[in-house]
């Protein structure tokens, strides 16, 4: 039989495997899970417009909830999406200083992405051009593209869903957000290489 190369697993799949192994008693696999998903979670948190300290707390809280509720999570394979949902909710809950739990349906939409002046000053010329184009997209598209950019293609659909985007908004098809980015960059002679 010929070996058919398969698409590499996305971080969501690898995170799901690590989490399943952790649930089955391989406690050290949790560390792998944390390493894998922290960049995605950081961007999911920061894209809500909250301060770095709030984002760190939200990520930490999400992992502690994961550990506490470990046995009751229905689909270990979907752990990345679960964490994104909880992080986003926690950012809003901590940000507004409310004690009560915020339901997923109450989580407001992310604002347009902001970079503080200091961050903007360290961008390369090309990144500045890209930032200008990203800023023209709708806030929802900015949030979606920022977060999926830190994941792999097989993860896009699940992440979009956990951010509250309609099913089918991205992956396996391009979806409107990626199409808009492509169009706006394509129309800029300053971007074309």
Partner 1 sequence: MTSHTDAIDARDIANLRHVRDLFAHADPAPGDLAERVKFAITVHALHAEVAELMDSALLTTRGAETEVEPTPTESVTFAAASVSLMVSVAPMSTEESDDRVRVDGWVTAPGARVEAVTNEGSSSVVSDANGRFVLDDLPHGPVHFVVTDPANQDVRPVITPTIQV
Nearest to partner 1 of 103, 150 (CB atom): 150
89 contact partners, CB below 8 Å, separation of at least 6: 102, 103, 104, 107
User: What are the angstrom distances between the C-alpha of 61 and each of 9, 41, 48, 84?
Assistant: 27, 12, 16, 12
Nearest to partner 1 of 58, 85 (CB atom): 58
12 binds partner 1 (CB under 8 A): no
Stretch that binds partner 1, among 9-17, 79-87, 94-102, 175-183 (CB under 8 A): 175-183
Selected from 13, 23, 29, 34, the binder of partner 1 by CB under 8 A is: 34
- Minimum Å distance from CB 109 to partner 1? 19
User: What are the angstrom distances between the C-alpha of 86 and each of 41, 91, 103?
Assistant: 10, 9, 10
- Minimum Å distance from CB 161 to partner 1? 16
Place of tokens 């492509």: 182
Site for partner 1 in 49-88 (CB under 8 A): 52, 56, 59-60, 63-64, 67
Selected from 9, 13, 23, 38, the binder of partner 1 by CB under 8 A is: 38
User: What are the angstrom distances between the C-alpha of 24 and each of 71, 134, 192?
Assistant: 10, 42, 50
Site for partner 1 in 125-144 (CB under 8 A): 126-127, 130-131, 134
Nearest to partner 1 of 50, 102 (CB atom): 50
> What is the Cα–Cα distance from 176 to 29, expressed in whole angstroms?
37
Number of Cβ within a 10 Å radius of residue 21 = 17
> What is the Cα–Cα distance from 183 to 148, expressed in whole angstroms?
18
150 binds partner 1 (CB under 8 A): yes
Query: Token digits for 34?
Result: 């944390």
> What is the Cα–Cα distance from 184 to 141, expressed in whole angstroms?
13
**Interacting residue ranges for partner 1, rule: CB under 8 A:** 28, 30-31, 34-35, 38-39, 42-43, 46, 52, 56, 59-60, 63-64, 67, 115, 119-120, 122-124, 126-127, 130-131, 134, 145-146, 148-150, 153, 156, 170-176, 178-179, 181-182, 185
């Amino acid at each position: 039989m010929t070996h058919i190369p398969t698409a590499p697993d996305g971080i969501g799949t690898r995170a799901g495997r690590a989490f399943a192994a952790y649930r089955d008693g391989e406690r050290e696999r949790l560390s792998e899970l944390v390493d894998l998903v922290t960049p995605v979670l950081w961007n999911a948190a920061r894209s809500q417009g909250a301060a770095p300290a709030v984002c760190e707390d939200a990520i930490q809280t999400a992992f502690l909830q994961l550990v506490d509720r470990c046995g009751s999570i229905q689909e270990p394979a979907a752990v990345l999406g679960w964490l994104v949902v909880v992080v986003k909710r926690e950012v809003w809950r901590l940000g507004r200083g409310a004690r009560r739990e915020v339901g997923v349906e109450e989580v407001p939409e992310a604002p347009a992405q902001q970079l503080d002046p200091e961050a903007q000053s360290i961008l390369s010329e090309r990144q500045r051009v890209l930032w200008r184009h990203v800023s023209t997209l709708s806030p929802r598209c900015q949030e979606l593209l920022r977060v999926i950019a830190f994941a792999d293609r097989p993860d896009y659909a699940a992440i979009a869903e956990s951010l509250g985007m309609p099913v089918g908004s991205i992956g396996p098809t391009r979806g409107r957000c990626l199409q808009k980015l492509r169009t706006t960059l394509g129309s800029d002679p300053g971007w074309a290489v």
